[in-house]
């Protein structure tokens, strides 16, 4: 089996280059697969293109098509109309076992920017699906990607690599909001500011079922753009206090240089309201809410970006502790996969050899029985057993050597030698 | 049947202990499919043995477990804990409620070994009377609600502490949300008051409609009667506070429930232990030292029935 991977990822290439090399749409992928098939009709190809990586996996049966990194580089260069010297220094390449291990690392998210993130599994599944739809997969890539997905499932089940959230917004919603509120469909969420962080937090909150969203921002246009994205409404900044009193959750991400809501202001708001539980996610830097607001009453839960980041870091450390275990599983699975693949390569030769020797054994025994028709059944059984044992003992050393060699790769030389020595044909 | 008759209290106690140890292991180390499987097996095995034990005792004494003896009564309460535990392991695998529920269940079972396990004749009369079963049933459910409310309140306080910047170790305990715990707390307080009220009223009714069977008259100074009435009053006070107080936080509710529930449990269970349900007393009972047996009752009517048995 000949597997090659060319990888341009966030470790070794900037976003600008990754964008140039990306296969951004399904249409582009279809074109790429068509071009590849035209050039290398007997090889298989899977293209994985995400915001953090562009990877090209090519595979061919031994002897079918000699795949090389240069071929992949040339293909990418011509497809994107980009001189190869612009990206060759920023891409990695792997062959054989290393290429398989790399795919397993990627699908298990060991190679991801956010360790343990789950999206990569869906991205790999999609890449594999599109490759199949474009008739670009074959027996090798099918086995490889199916095995990769099962390795990913095993790593996620047997390790804590995906446990604990590691982004500020997901921690804010998943680790804090969900520990305070049981349901979100009856909660009012006030968003102050319309930054990226607010958008991310709203995405998580929408997934939790939030329906009532109000965006208050000095720039009404931006507020409306954000609100319309999540089916929310907007209001003027002058009514901020009204919404501060009504809201169950407040997400603040203004770019203000000074505190937006100070202690006295919020205390007055709380006094005039029901003092129901309120979760304040202050994602602004500098902070939008005075820190002492957390002590106004027992139902105020205020978290700033430092508090959320501390939890993110704690979760990251927990995940890091699982890398060793995940790596162990990947190594085991890679070895198993390669063994299976090479066993498939040596299997037909071994089977033919066994069949040939078995035929010789049968014909020789027939001659013996014809010459000695007085043999009893017990004598025949004893003779057959002895001959069988001799054949097995003679076969054992060459087969063991073949199997041992197969662990390191297809033993072409040995296979050829066996074929010629025993006259097994091609 | 012969095999089931051999099931001892220690069988299910051990099963629950194993489940508790695995819960602690999960908290400190790793939660996996294997640990969850062990929890499920230990929980179901414990509950099965617990059920068989109670039904065997019930068929031997020809009495429902609720009114068999203080021993059976406590084990029924613990059995409710076991049922809830298994349900939670199946439906809420990620929550660490077992860390709170199992110690309570195990504590009740251990306590059951120290109290009177002899079924007495007066309890047959109690069991035969519809008020008697209602009395025992509502009291055991009421006590179960008190225990559950106390556990909920404790979980609330821990969750609150965690959310207000507690130690990272606590982050690993997965508990229900504060909103959910507050809701459970309120409902459990209402349920407790309702059940204890019905339990106490039926107890008083029993002392009135069966005076002939009571050897000594009903007395407010009886420590069990006084204790139960006092804690019932506290729970009523808690309920009134819950219903009338305008500005109340979940934490205040949890604190109050924890104190009230904890006080109630300590009072009732403490009185149960101190008032004569220990092994020595049980042995004395068996030998006919009826005086000690008299004080082994838990609730008014039970006390009355036991008193009745002396006549």
Condensed to tens digits (0 to 9), the pLDDT of residues A310-360 reads 878 887 888 888 888 999 999 999 988 888 887 777 777 888 888 888 889
- More confident: A303 or A316: A303
**CA A334 – CA A346 distance, rounded (Å):** 18
Mean pLDDT of chain A: 87
SS3 B46: helix
Report whether pLDDT(B305) > 60.
Answer: no
- Cα–Cα distance measured from residue A136 to residue A58, given in angstroms and rounded to the nearest whole number: 10
Residue B65: per-residue pLDDT: 72
Q: Which two tokens stand for residue A58?
A: 């090519």
Residues with Cβ < 8 Å from A254, sequence gap 6 or more?
Answer: A192, A193, A195, A217, A218, A260, A284, A288
pLDDT of residue B310: 32
Name the band, by pLDDT with cuts 50, 70 and 90, for residue B262: confident
Taking the CA of residue A243 as centre, how many other CA atoms within 13 Å lie in the half-sphere pointing to its CB?
25
The pLDDT of residue A352: 84
* Cα A20 off chain centre by: 22
Q: What's the count of helices (H) and strands (E) in chain A, helices before strands?
A: 16, 10
Label residue B61 by pLDDT band (50, 70, 90). confident
pLDDT at residue A174 is higher than 70: yes
Segment B14-18 long-range contacts (CB within 8 Å, at least 24 positions apart):
B14/B46, B15/B42, B15/B43, B15/B45, B15/B46, B15/B49, B16/B42, B16/B43, B16/B46, B16/B82, B16/B85, B16/B102, B16/B105, B16/B106, B16/B109, B17/B106, B18/B42
> Tell me, what's the pLDDT at B288?
41
Q: Does residue A426 carry a pLDDT above 80?
A: no
Q: Report pLDDT for B17.
A: 95
Dihedral of CA atoms A215, A219, A220, A224 in degrees, nearest 10, equals -60
Contacting A residues, span 204-243, partner chain B, CB-CB under 8 Å: none
Q: What is the mean pLDDT of residues A157-182?
A: 83
| Nearest residue to B173 via CA among A213, A214, A179 | A179
Instruction: Tell me which chain B residue has its CA closest to the CA of residue A295.
Output: B164
pLDDT exceeds cutoff 70 at B276? no
H-helix or E-strand spanning residue A215 = strand A212-216
The pLDDT of residue B304 is 38
Q: Who wins on pLDDT, B95 or A131? A: A131
| A90-129 pLDDT per residue, tens | 999 998 889 999 999 999 989 888 788 888 899 999 999 9
Q: What is the pLDDT of residue B127?
A: 59
The DSSP result for A53-64, as a single string, is EEEEEEEE-TTT
Residue B32 has pLDDT above 80, yes or no: no
Which tokens go with A170?
A: 């997901």
**A147-174 mean pLDDT:** 85
Confidence of residue B43 (pLDDT cuts 50, 70, 90): very high
Q: How confident is the model at residue A44 (pLDDT cuts 50, 70, 90)?
A: very high
Distance of residue A158 Cα from the nearest chain B Cα, in angstroms: 7
A275–B252: do the CB atoms touch at under 8 Å? no
Q: What is the mean pLDDT of residues A307-312?
A: 80
Which of A33-37, A239-243, B219-223 has the least mean pLDDT? B219-223
Contact B300, B228 (CB under 8 A): yes
C-alpha to C-alpha distance for A113 and B61, rounded to whole angstroms: 68
ω before A405 within 30° of 0 (cis)? no
pLDDT at residue A99 in the model: 93
Contact A158 B32 (CB under 8 A): yes
Q: How many CA atoms lie within 13 A of B218 on its CB side?
A: 19
pLDDT value, residue B233: 83
Q: What's the pLDDT at B211?
A: 54
Q: What is the pLDDT of residue A126?
A: 93
Residue B22's pLDDT is what? 92
Query: Apex CA A126: angle with CA A123 and CA A132, to 5°?
Result: 145
Which of A298, A312, A321, A322 best tests the B interface by mutation, with the highest count of B CBs <10 A?
A298
The pLDDT-based confidence of B40 (bands split at 50, 70, 90) is very high
Q: Do A179 and B178 touch (CB under 8 A)?
A: yes
pLDDT of amino acid B286:
43
The DSSP element (H or E) to which A93 belongs, if any, is strand A92-95
Which residues of chain A lie closer than 8 angstroms to B176, CB-CB? 182
Token match 């069949």: residue?
A: A355
Q: Which helix (H) or strand (E) holds B256?
A: helix B250-274
A55: left (phi over 0), alpha (psi -120 to 50) or beta: beta
Q: What is the pLDDT of residue B162?
A: 86
- Asked whether the predicted pLDDT for residue A151 surpasses 90, the reply is yes
Picking from A178, A183, A299, the nearest residue to B249 by CB comes out as: A299
More confident residue, B23 or B306: B23
pLDDT average, residue stretch A25-42? 91
Per-residue confidence (pLDDT) for residue A34, from 0 to 100: 94
Spell out which residues of chain B touch residue A178, defining contact as CB-CB under 8 Å: 177
Q: What percent of chain A has pLDDT over 90?
A: 42
Burial of A146 per CB tally in 10 Å (0-12, 13-18, 19+):
exposed
pLDDT at B91 over 90: no
pLDDT over 80 at B224, yes or no: no
The region that residue B176 occupies, defined by phi over 0 for left and psi between -120 and 50 for alpha, beta otherwise, is: beta
Q: Which residue is it, tokens 């309140």?
A: B153
User: Where residue B138 falls among pLDDT bands split at 50, 70, 90?
Assistant: confident
Query: Residue A62: pLDDT band by 50, 70, 90 thresholds?
Result: low
> What percentage of chain A exceeds 70 in pLDDT?
97
Q: Among all chains, which residue has been given the structure tokens 């999206």?
A: A119
- The lowest-confidence range among A40-54, A97-111, B25-39, B282-296 is B282-296
- Phi and psi, residue B139, nearest 5°: -65, -40
Residues of B in contact with A182 (CB under 8 A): 176-177, 179-180, 183
What is the value of ipTM here, to two decimals?
0.75
Residues A368-419 pLDDT 10s: 999 988 889 999 999 999 998 998 888 888 888 877 777 666 677 888 888 8
Residues A219-230: tens digit of each pLDDT: 888 889 999 989
Query: Has residue A421 got a pLDDT over 60?
Result: yes
**Given this model, what pLDDT does residue B295 score?**
35
Q: Regarding predicted confidence, which is higher, A345 or A205? A: A205
To the nearest whole angstrom, how far is the Cα of B179 from the nearest Cα of chain A? 5
Averaged over B57-70, what is the pLDDT?
76
| Best residue of A175, A182, A315 to probe chain B, by most B CBs closer than 10 Å | A182
- End-to-end Cα spacing for chain A: 18
Residue A248 CB-half CA count within 13 A: 18
| Mean pLDDT of all residues belonging to chain B | 76
Residue whose structure tokens are 């085991």: A332
Q: What pLDDT sits at residue A163?
A: 76
Does this model's pTM top 0.90? My answer is no
Q: How confident is the model at residue B289 (pLDDT cuts 50, 70, 90)?
A: very low
Looking at residue B170, what is its pLDDT? 45
Whole-number Å distance between alpha carbons of A177 and A161: 23
> What's the confidence (pLDDT) of residue A262?
92
**Residues of A with a known catalytic role:** 51
């Amino acid at each position: 089996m000949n597997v090659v991977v060319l990888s341009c990822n966030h470790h070794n290439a900037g976003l600008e280059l990754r964008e140039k090399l990306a296969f951004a749409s399904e249409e582009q992928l279809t074109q790429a697969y068509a071009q590849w098939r035209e050039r290398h009709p007997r090889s298989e190809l899977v293209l994985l293109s995400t915001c953090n990586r562009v990877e090209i996996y090519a595979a061919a049966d031994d002897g079918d098509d000699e795949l090389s990194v240069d071929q992949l580089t040339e293909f990418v260069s011509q497809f994107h109309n980009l001189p190869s010297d612009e990206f060759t220094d920023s891409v990695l390449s792997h062959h054989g076992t290393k290429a398989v291990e790399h795919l397993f690392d990627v699908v298990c998210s060991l190679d991801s920017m956010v360790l343990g993130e789950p999206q990569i599994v869906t991205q790999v599944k999609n890449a594999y699906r599109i490759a199949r739809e474009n008739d670009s997969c074959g027996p090798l890539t099918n086995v490889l990607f199916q095995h990769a997905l099962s390795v990913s499932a095993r790593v996620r089940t047997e390790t804590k690599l995906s446990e604990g959230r590691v982004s500020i917004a997901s921690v804010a919603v998943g680790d804090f909001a969900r520990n305070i509120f049981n349901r979100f469909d009856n909660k009012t969420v006030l968003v102050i500011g319309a930054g990226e962080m607010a958008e991310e937090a709203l995405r998580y909150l929408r997934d939790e079922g939030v329906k009532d969203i109000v965006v208050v921002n000095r720039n009404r246009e931006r507020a409306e753009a954000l609100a319309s994205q999540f089916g929310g409404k907007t209001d003027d900044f002058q009514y901020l206090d009204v919404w501060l009193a009504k809201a169950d959750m407040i997400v603040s991400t203004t770019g203000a240089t000074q505190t937006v809501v100070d202690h006295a202001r919020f205390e007055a708001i709380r006094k005039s309201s029901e003092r129901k539980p309120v979760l304040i996610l202050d994602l602004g830097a500098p902070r939008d809410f005075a820190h002492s607001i957390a002590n106004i009453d027992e139902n105020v839960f205020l978290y700033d970006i430092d508090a959320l980041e501390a939890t993110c870091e704690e979760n990251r450390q927990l995940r890091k502790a699982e890398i060793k275990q995940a790596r162990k599983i990947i190594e085991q699975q890679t070895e198993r996969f390669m063994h299976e693949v090479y066993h498939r390569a040596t299997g037909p030769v071994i089977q033919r050899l066994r069949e040939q020797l078995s035929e010789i054994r049968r014909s020789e025994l027939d001659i013996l029985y014809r010459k000695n028709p007085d043999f009893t059944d017990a004598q025949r059984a004893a003779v057959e057993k002895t001959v069988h044992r001799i054949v097995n003992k003679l076969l054992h050393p060459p087969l063991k050597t073949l199997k041992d060699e197969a662990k390191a790769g297809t033993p072409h030389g040995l296979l050829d030698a066996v074929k010629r020595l025993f006259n097994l044909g091609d | 049947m012969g095999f089931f008759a051999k099931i001892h209290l220690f069988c299910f106690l051990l099963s629950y202990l194993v489940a508790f140890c695995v819960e602690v292991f999960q908290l400190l180390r790793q939660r996996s499919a294997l640990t969850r499987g062990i929890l499920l097996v230990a929980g179901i095995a414990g509950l099965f043995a617990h059920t068989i034990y109670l039904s065997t005792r019930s068929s031997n004494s020809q009495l429902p477990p609720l009114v068999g003896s203080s021993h059976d009564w406590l084990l029924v309460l613990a059995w409710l804990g076991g049922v809830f535990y298994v349900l939670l392991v199946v439906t809420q695998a990620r929550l660490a409620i077992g860390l709170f529920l199992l110690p309570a269940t195990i504590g009740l079972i251990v306590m059951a070994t120290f109290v009177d396990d002899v079924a007495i004749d007066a309890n047959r009369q109690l069991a035969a009377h519809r008020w008697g079963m209602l009395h025992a049933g509502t009291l055991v459910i009421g006590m179960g609600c008190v225990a559950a409310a106390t556990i909920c309140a404790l979980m609330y306080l821990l969750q609150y502490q965690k959310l207000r910047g507690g130690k990272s170790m606590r982050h690993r305990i997965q508990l229900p949300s504060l909103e959910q715990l507050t809701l459970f707390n309120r409902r459990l307080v209402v349920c407790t008051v309702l059940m204890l009220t019905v339990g106490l009223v039926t107890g008083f009714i029993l002392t009135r409609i069966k005076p002939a069977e009571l050897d000594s008259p009903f007395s407010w100074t009886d420590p069990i009667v006084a204790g139960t009435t006092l804690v019932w009053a506290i729970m009523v006070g808690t309920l009134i506070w819950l219903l009338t107080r305008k500005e109340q936080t979940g934490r205040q509710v949890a604190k109050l429930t924890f104190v009230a529930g904890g006080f109630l449990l300590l009072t009732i269970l403490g009185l149960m232990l101190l008032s004569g349900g220990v092994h020595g007393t049980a042995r004395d009972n068996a030998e006919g030292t009826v005086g000690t047996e008299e004080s082994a009752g838990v609730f008014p009517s039970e006390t009355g029935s036991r008193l009745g048995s002396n006549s």
